[in-house]
């Protein structure tokens, strides 16, 4: 092997995820994660091994590279895998091609033009329905017929590590008919996966479930921050607004959908039967283990959630098919959130709203404090990986600290 990859690394030779990095001596550019290192693709291009314009590797985002299509991006990935295995390849004895991840700064991997967030975990939707509506009829009538979603704010999506301020807005106190203004007291995380599209469509075109994976470049971890008290007051009649658009975080490395192929599994049985345009063949869910930790300022991290992407009722192919069935056009770099990923077990719930059950069951931290929601100074960290038959493909982490309101 050209470079040492630690055992159980998220960034094994089976992965080869793409991202944008910089160092003190290197401007923003494309790279791939390999173990504890980054392979600088802009430097590799100087070896005349790629037959495309090198300028796409020296840009601040991966959009132009992704837009070359999978015939190019998949070949780059497979070539790198071959070179890494061959001690006599073009990567051999060229330490200048590699950078330690610890010496690099990671940036937003894509310029997100549009962002859609779905609501596709039946366990999460049921839990929310029980808390806010009728426990006997937790799901709204349309939920099992369509992948419910809303259009979010692309401008406030930021990369892992960038701290954010507690949002302010209107909330309605208990037993009051008049709203008040101030910092949210119920800041929450939402454990999600995000997928990024790699092809454009024209206005009026639709993407089928059979073709959807051709349009999906890869996946990231996604933290869809929420202000539950603001959300409760504003969401009727048009849904999330200020409770969701103050910030969302993504992990910096995009794991290609091809790298996740070995980890496909069957999804939950969908009943009632879906309409023809939402039907699909084969396995479309992915067995990706997920966890969330909360680190109070100056103290140890406490793991609060273990979940899995395989729980999703609506899969990505169905989400993209539904998104475009009306002729909505999509573009390279668009981001789609899965919706909060919750399982049946209480420890698999993907939000504080569920884990602490709207504040009635506080979680204990290692420092002795309790959490109903996220406090100032807390850092929330999400991690995810898939593992099977000795192959591990991981996402690293998405982490962010909550600062006091401005």
CB 19 within 8 A of CB 10: no
CATH (domain of 51): 2.30.30.230
* Count of structural domains within the chain: 2
User: Which of 107, 136, 167 corresponds to the end of one domain?
Assistant: 107
- Cα separation, 140 vs 180, whole angstroms: 29
CA-to-CA distance for 253 and 69, rounded, in angstroms? Answer: 18
| DSSP of 341-398 | ---SSGGG--BHHHHTTTTTSPEEPTTS-EESSPPTT-EEEEEEEEEETTEEEEEEEE
* Of the residues 49, 73, 107, the one at which a domain ends: 107
3-state secondary structure of 132: helix
Query: Are 157 and 204 in the same domain?
Result: yes
Q: Which of 37, 45, 124, 322 is catalytic?
A: 124
Domain hosting 47: range is: 18-107
The tokens describing 327, both together, are 């002729």
1, part of any domain = no
CATH number, residue 362: 3.90.850.10
Report pTM.
0.97
Q: How far is it between the farthest Cα atoms of the chain?
A: 73
Q: Do residue 289 and residue 372 come from a single domain? A: yes
State the pLDDT at residue 238. Answer: 92
Same domain, 62 and 135: no
Q: Are 197 and 334 in contact (CB under 8 A)?
A: yes
CB atoms within 10 A of CB 196: 24
C-alpha 209/C-alpha 317 separation (Å) is 5
Q: What is the mean pLDDT of each run of 10 residues along the chain (406 residues)?
A: 93 98 98 98 97 96 98 98 95 96 98 98 96 89 97 98 98 95 98 98 98 98 98 93 98 98 98 98 98 97 98 98 98 98 97 97 96 98 98 98 98
Asked if residue 70 and residue 199 are part of one domain, the reply reads: no
Q: Which residues, in sequence order, are CB contacts of 51 under 8 Å at separation 6+?
A: none
145 catalytic? Reply is no
Q: What is the pLDDT of residue 232?
A: 93
Domain shared by 72 and 131, yes or no: no
Q: Which of 107, 135, 157 is the last residue of a domain?
A: 107
pLDDT at site 331: 98
Contacts of range 306-309, beta carbons closer than 8 Å, 24 or more positions apart: 306/347, 306/348, 307/191, 307/341, 307/342, 307/343, 307/348, 307/349, 307/350, 308/341, 308/343, 308/348, 309/193, 309/285, 309/338, 309/341, 309/384
């Amino acid at each position: 092997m050209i470079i040492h990859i630690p055992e159980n690394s998220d960034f094994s030779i089976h992965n080869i995820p793409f991202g944008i990095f910089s160092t003190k001596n290197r401007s923003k550019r494309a790279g791939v994660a390999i173990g504890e290192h980054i392979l600088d693709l802009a430097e590799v291009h100087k070896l005349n091994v790629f037959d495309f314009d090198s300028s796409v590797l020296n840009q601040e985002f991966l959009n132009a590279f992704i837009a070359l299509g999978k015939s190019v991006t998949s070949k780059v990935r497979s070539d790198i895998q071959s070179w890494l295995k061959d001690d006599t390849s073009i990567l051999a004895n060229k330490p200048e091609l590699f950078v330690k991840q610890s010496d690099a700064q990671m940036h937003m991997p894509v310029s997100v033009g549009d962002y859609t967030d779905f609501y596709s975990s039946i366990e999460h939707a049921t839990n929310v329905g029980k808390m806010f509506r009728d426990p006997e009829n937790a799901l709204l009538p349309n939920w099992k017929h369509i992948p419910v979603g809303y259009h979010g704010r692309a401008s406030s999506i930021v990369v892992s590590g960038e701290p954010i301020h507690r949002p302010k807005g209107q909330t309605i106190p208990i037993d009051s008919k008049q709203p008040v203004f101030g910092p949210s007291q119920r800041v929450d995380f939402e454990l999600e996966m995000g997928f990024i599209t790699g092809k454009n469509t024209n206005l009026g075109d639709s993407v089928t479930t059979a073709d959807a994976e051709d349009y999906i470049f890869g996946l990231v971890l996604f933290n869809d921050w929420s202000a539950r008290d603001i959300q409760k007051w504003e969401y009727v009649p048009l849904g999330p607004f200020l409770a969701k658009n103050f910030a969302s975080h993504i992990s910096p490395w995009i794991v290609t959908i091809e790298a996740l192929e070995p980890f496909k599994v069957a999804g939950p049985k969908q009943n009632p039967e879906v309409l023809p345009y939402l039907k699909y063949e084969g396995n479309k869910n992915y067995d990706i283990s997920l966890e969330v930790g909360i680190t109070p300022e100056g103290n140890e991290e406490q793991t609060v959630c273990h979940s899995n992407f395989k729980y999703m009722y609506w899969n990505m192919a169905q989400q993209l098919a539904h998104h475009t069935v009306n002729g909505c056009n999509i573009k390279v770099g668009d981001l789609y959130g899965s919706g909060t990923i919750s399982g049946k077990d209480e420890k698999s719930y993907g939000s504080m709203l569920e884990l602490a059950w709207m504040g009635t069951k506080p979680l204990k931290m290692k420092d002795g404090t309790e959490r109903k929601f996220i406090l100032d100074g807390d850092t929330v960290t999400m991690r995810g990986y898939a593992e099977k038959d000795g192959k591990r493909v991981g996402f690293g982490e998405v982490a962010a600290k909550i600062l006091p309101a401005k």
